[in-house]
Amino acid sequence: MKNISRKKKRSSGSPEEAPKRSPPAEEPLWKGYLRLFIRAVIFIAILVLLFTQVLFLKRVDGNEMFPALKDGDLALGFRLERTLRSGDVVLYQADGDLHFGRILTLGGNTVEISGDGSVKINGVSESGEILFSTDDPGTLTYPYEVPEGSVFILGDYRTETKDSRTFGAIPISSIKGKVLTILRRRGI
- Residue 107 maps to which CATH number? 2.10.109.10
Per-residue pLDDT tens over the stretch 59-73: 999 888 988 898 889
- At residue 49, the pLDDT reads 93
Residue 3 lies in a domain: no
Residue 108 lies in a domain: yes
Domain that holds residue 92: 81-179
Partnered with residue 93 across adjacent β-strands are 98
Q: Is the pLDDT of residue 150 over 80?
A: yes
Residue 92 lies in a domain: yes
Distance CA 150, CA 92 (A): 12
- At residue 135, the pLDDT reads 67
Q: Is the pLDDT of residue 133 over 90?
A: no
Distance CA 161, CA 94 (A): 13
Strands 144-145 and 175-183: unpaired
Confidence of residue 46 (pLDDT cuts 50, 70, 90): very high
What lies within 8 Å, CB to CB, of 35 at 6+ separation is: none
Residue 8 lies in a domain: no
Asked if 182 contacts 153 with a C-beta cutoff of 8 angstroms, the reply is no
The percent of the chain in helix, strand and coil, each rounded to the nearest 5, is 20, 30, 55
What lies within 8 Å, CB to CB, of 157 at 6+ separation is: 63, 64, 65, 66, 67, 132
Q: What is the DSSP letter of 96?
A: T
- At residue 179, the pLDDT reads 95
Mean pLDDT of the chain: 85
Q: Which percentage of the chain shows pLDDT scores above 70?
A: 83
Residue 35 lies in a domain: no
Asked if 174 contacts 93 with a C-beta cutoff of 8 angstroms, the reply is yes
If 0-12 CB within 10 Å is exposed, 13-18 middle and 19+ buried, where does residue 113 land?
buried
Residue 170 lies in a domain: yes
Residue 171 lies in a domain: yes
Report the domain count for the chain. Answer: 1
- At residue 12, the pLDDT reads 54
- At residue 180, the pLDDT reads 94
Any idea which of 5-9, 60-64, 94-98, 168-172 has the lowest mean pLDDT? 5-9
- At residue 2, the pLDDT reads 54
Radius of gyration of the chain (CA): 32
Residue 111 lies in a domain: yes
Asked if 51 contacts 57 with a C-beta cutoff of 8 angstroms, the reply is yes
The closest alpha carbon to 108, from 144, 139, 142, belongs to: 144
Asked if 85 contacts 101 with a C-beta cutoff of 8 angstroms, the reply is no
